[in-house]
Amino acid sequence: MKNLDSDIQYLSGVGPKRAALIKAELGISTIGELLRIYPFRYIDRSRFYRIAEIAGEEAYVQIRARVVSRTMYGPGGTVIPPGDKKLQYAVKRLSVIVEDGSAQTELVFFKGIKYNYARLAPGSVFVFFGKPSLWNGKLSMVHPEIDAPLPEGSDLQGGLTGVYPSTEKLLAGGVTGKVMCKLQSAALALCLPEVEENLPEYILSENALCGARYALKNIHFPADQYALQKATRRLKFEELFLLQLSLLKQKYIRSHGNPGLVMPKVGSAFGALYESLPFSLTGAQKRVIREIFEDMRSGHQMNRLLQGDVGSGKTMVAVLSALLAVDNGYQACIMAPTEVLSRQHYANIQKYLSPTGVKCAILTGSSTARERRGIHAGLEDGSIGIIVGTHALLEEGVVFRRLGLAIIDEQHRFGVDQRARLWGKGPLLENTPSEGGSPHGRVPLQHRAAPHVLVMTATPIPRTLAMTLYGDLDVSVIDELPPGRKPVKTTLISDSKKVQVYNFMRKQIALGRQVFVVYPLIFESEKMDLNNLELGYEEIVKYFPLPDYKVAIVHGQQTNEVKNFNMEAFASGRADILVSTTVIEVGVDVPNASVMVIESAQRFGLSQLHQLRGRVGRGAEESYCILVHDFKTSKEARERLELMCRSNDGFEIAEEDMKMRGPGDLEGTAQSGLPISLNIASLARDGVILSEARAYAQKVLDADPGLESAQNSLLLKELRKSKYDIKDYSKIS
C-alpha cells in the first residue's frame, strides 16, 4: 500500500505548497485519503447544447462555438483598444461574442483578461462550459471553462464530471474543480492497482455489490449513469455496514461481558404507585415499561435510550422503572442537567411516591453540608431508595449501598467521561475483597456490577440518526401523548408587528397566565446577541411596567444563584414574564405558562424550536407559540418556520429538520460529530441503505459474533483500524 499511504505532496500536480493548502482545507494528508474525497454531485458533459435552445435556467451547459469578436471595457463601460498601453491597467471586463450557427451569446471575464483576449481570437473554435444566465434579456456566461474541441467525428467532449467539496481558499490557491479532477485522475492511475477488497466475497454476492476498484474508479469518473449508481450504492453500503457492524459488535461485547443485575419481580412499591395513578398510562408508556423490565430481569446489563416528545410521560416511566429496582432490593438514581430540573423532578417524584413508602432525596451543588451528611448516610445504609440530583451525584463521596439503576435525563448534557463515573458506584460483586477497611472503599471497576442504565431525551431524534449515534443502545420510543393534552397553537409573525404580540401577551396575563420570551443567544459569548437580549428586556419592561407586571430575565452569563432565583420567581408565579435565552430549553416546567414568544426564530433549528415550544401547553389551558422573524429571513428559513406552524409532531419535525439542514446536530454537533465520519453516505437521504446495512450487520454477527471465521477475516481486519475505535456513547454505567 506504498502509494496509497504516500504523502499527497508527491502526487503529480500537487507539491509541498498545494499539499499544505489541501491538508489545511480538507484535512487529508495521503493519496489514499484524497481518493476518499468523493464528488457530491455530477455535471453531465456528454451533451452539447445549441445556443438557441438555452433558456438561461439550466444549471450548466456545454456549447461548441466560434469566436465572433472580443472587446475589453474599462470603468463606466468605455471600450479600451487592445494596443493602448496607457489604459491596459484600466481594463475591468472582457466581453467575447461567440456563435454556433443557431444564435450568438456573450462570454464575460473579470479575471485572466489579457490571457483570454490573446487566446480567444476571432474565428477560433472552442468548447465552452458554464452556467448560463439572462441579463437584460440577453444570454451570457461568466467565466466558462474553455477547452479545445475534440477531433471531427467525436461525439462527446466529456461524460459525467464530478464536482468536489471546495473552499474559497482552495479556489484562491488554484485548486479548482478542474484541478481536483486532474489530481483524482493521477491518484487513480497511480494507486488503483493497490486497492484491496475490504468486504468478503459472500457479502458482495448476497448484496449485489460491485468490487472496490470498480466502485472507486466509477465514483470519480463514471463510465455512465448505471456505473455511477453501482459505485455509489457499493460505497454507501460499505460505509454504513462497517459503522453498524462496529457498533453492534461493541454492543454484543458489552452485553455479554457485563453480566447484568437480575431483577425478576414486580413488587409492592411498583404496584402501589400503579394502582394509585389518577390516570391510565398510554399504550406507548406501557410498552416501554415492559421493554425496560425485560432488560432488567434478563441477566444482561440494560443500556437503553428512551426517546419521548415533550410531555409524553417519560418521568412516570422513569419512576416506575426506579421502583422495579427498589422492589428487587436495589437503589436508583435519577440525574438531570440543571438544579432547576432536578428540583422539579424531585417535587413530582415525591408526589408519585407518597403511596409507596419509598424514601426519596435530592442532592445538588447547593445542598448544605448538613443535608449532604444525611443523604450520604442514607445512600450508604440503603434507607434512601431513590436519589434525584445533578452532577453532584458523581462526586467521590457519594457511595451507594446497592445502586441497581441509573437514569439520566437529557443525557447529551452530560459528558461521556462524567457519565462513566457511575460505573464505579455499582454494587460490589460477591467475594470482592474490601480496601481501606471499608466495604465501599475504592474498589477496581472489575469488582463491581454494572448498574442498569436508562438514558432519556426529549429531543426527538430521527430513526437513522438514533441508529448511528446510539447504534449500540437499545432504543425505546414513547410516540403517544397523554389523552387530553392540547396541541400548542403556533403562529409565524413579522417583527414589524411586535405591538400585536405585546397586546396578546397582556390579554393572556390578564387571564392569569404567564409568558416566556426567548432570544437567540446561541453562544454565550456573542456580544451582539447579549445586547439584543438586554434591549429586548428593556423594551418589554417599558411595555409591561411595574407594579402591574413583573418581568424576570435569565441568561448564561448570570451566576447560578441569580439564574436560579429568577427562574424560581417565574416558576412560582411571582413573575409574569420570563425573558431568557435557550437556557430554558430544558428544565422549566410551569403549567401556568401559556405563551412562548421566540424572537428571531429563523436563527433556531426546528428541533430546538420544538423543544422551546414544549415549555408551554403543560396545563389545561389553550397555549400558544409565536415565532417572530425579521425582514431578512430567507425563503428556506420561512419554509422551516411554516412547518412548525403545521405540525406538533416532534419526530416529523426532526426528520424534516435533518432533510433540510443535513444530519446536523440535533444535539449541537455536525455530521462530523458522529462516531465516525461519513464520506459519501447521508443519514438524511440514505435511510433505506442504512436499515439494510444494519440488518445485514446483525445477521453477520448472529452467525459469527467474534468475526473469527476465515470468511470474515477481512471484516475483522477492517474493524481494527483506528477510525473504528469508537468512543462508547452509551458506556455510562
Does 148 fall in a domain?
yes
* pLDDT (0 to 100) of residue 366: 87
pLDDT value, residue 705: 92
Is the pLDDT reported for residue 417 higher than 80? no
Confidence at residue 668, expressed as pLDDT on a 0 to 100 scale = 35
- Burial label for 722, CB within 10 Å (0-12, 13-18, 19+), is exposed
Q: Please check whether residue 471 lies inside any domain of the structure.
A: no
- What is the model's pLDDT at position 64? 92
Which domain covers residue 287, as residue numbers?
A: 268-298+313-457
Predicted pLDDT at 679: 87
Q: Is residue 478 within 8 Å of residue 312, measured between CB atoms?
A: yes
CA–CA gap between residue 406 and residue 426 (Å, rounded): 9
Cβ-contact 152, 76 below 8 angstroms? no
Nearest residue to 394 (alpha-carbon basis) of 431, 360, 358, 420? 420
What is the C-alpha separation between 640 and 642, in angstroms, rounded? 5
What CATH number is associated with residue 72?
2.40.50.140
* Mean pLDDT score across all residues of the chain: 85
Identify the residue with better confidence: 634 or 215.
215
Average pLDDT over residues 580-594: 75
| Helix/strand/coil percentages in the chain, nearest 5 | 45, 20, 40
Strand partners, 300: 259
Same domain, 320 and 438: yes
- What's the pLDDT at 728? 46
pLDDT of amino acid 35: 95
Distance CA 209, CA 231 (A): 8
| In contact, 420 and 440? CB cutoff 8 Å | no
Q: Which has more confidence, 660 or 276?
A: 276
- Please report the pLDDT score of residue 419 as a whole number: 56
Beta bridge partners of 456: 306, 409
Residue with cell 504516500: 6
Decide: 18 and 173 in contact? Cβ < 8 Å.
yes
Examine the domain organization and report whether 149 and 180 are in the same domain: no
Q: What is the percent of the chain where pLDDT is above 70?
A: 86
Beta-carbon contacts of residue 26 (< 8 Å; ≥ 6 apart): 37, 165, 170
Asked if residue 515 is part of any domain, the answer here is yes
The answer to whether residues 62 and 136 belong to one domain is yes
Rounded Cα distance between 335 and 452, Å, is 14
User: Which of 465-474, 488-497, 690-699, 717-726 shows the lowest mean pLDDT across its residues?
Assistant: 465-474
pLDDT band at 423 (very low <50, low <70, confident <90, very high): low
- 121 and 171: one domain? no
pLDDT at position 621 is 79
The confidence score (pLDDT) of residue 578 equals 94
Q: Are residues 628 and 528 part of one domain?
A: yes
Domains of the chain: total? 4
Residue 229 belongs to a domain: no
pLDDT in the model for residue 438:
47
Distance (Å, whole) CA 733 – CA 730 = 8
Q: What is the mean pLDDT of residues 611-639?
A: 85
**571 — alpha (psi -120 to 50), left (phi > 0) or beta?**
alpha
Residues 420 and 349 in one domain: yes
Claim to verify: residue 404 and residue 432 sit in the same structural domain:
yes
Q: Does 620 lie in the same domain as 493?
A: yes
Domain boundary among 130, 157, 184: 157
Q: Write the CATH number for 563.
A: 3.40.50.300
Residues 78 and 153 reside in one and the same domain: yes
Look at 475 and 671; give whichever has higher pLDDT.
475
694 in a domain, yes or no? Answer: no
pLDDT in tens, 237-296: 999 999 999 988 888 877 776 678 999 999 999 999 999 998 889 999 999 999 999 999
Q: Which residue has the cell 409532531?
A: 649
> CA nearest 406: which of 470, 449, 350, 469?
449
Among residues 610, 632, 647, which one ends one of the domains?
Answer: 647
pLDDT for the residue numbered 178? 84
Q: Are residues 17 and 76 both part of a single domain?
A: no
In a domain, 292, yes or no: yes
Report the alpha-carbon distance of residue 102 to residue 48 in Å, rounded: 13
CA-CA-CA-CA dihedral for 462, 468, 474, 476, to nearest 10? -10
> Is the separation of the CB atoms in 340 and 571 below 8 Å?
yes
Is the link from the previous residue into 264 a cis peptide, with omega within 30 of 0? no
| Same-domain check for residues 438 and 326 | yes
**Is residue 33 located within the same domain as residue 91?**
no
Question: Of 157, 183, 208, at which residue does a domain stop?
Answer: 157
Determine, yes or no, domain membership for 575. Answer: yes
Residue listed under C-alpha cell 417565574: 570
Q: Is residue 681 part of a domain?
A: no
633, 635, 636, 642 alpha-carbon torsion, rounded to 10°: 80
Name which residue leads in pLDDT, 438 or 235: 235
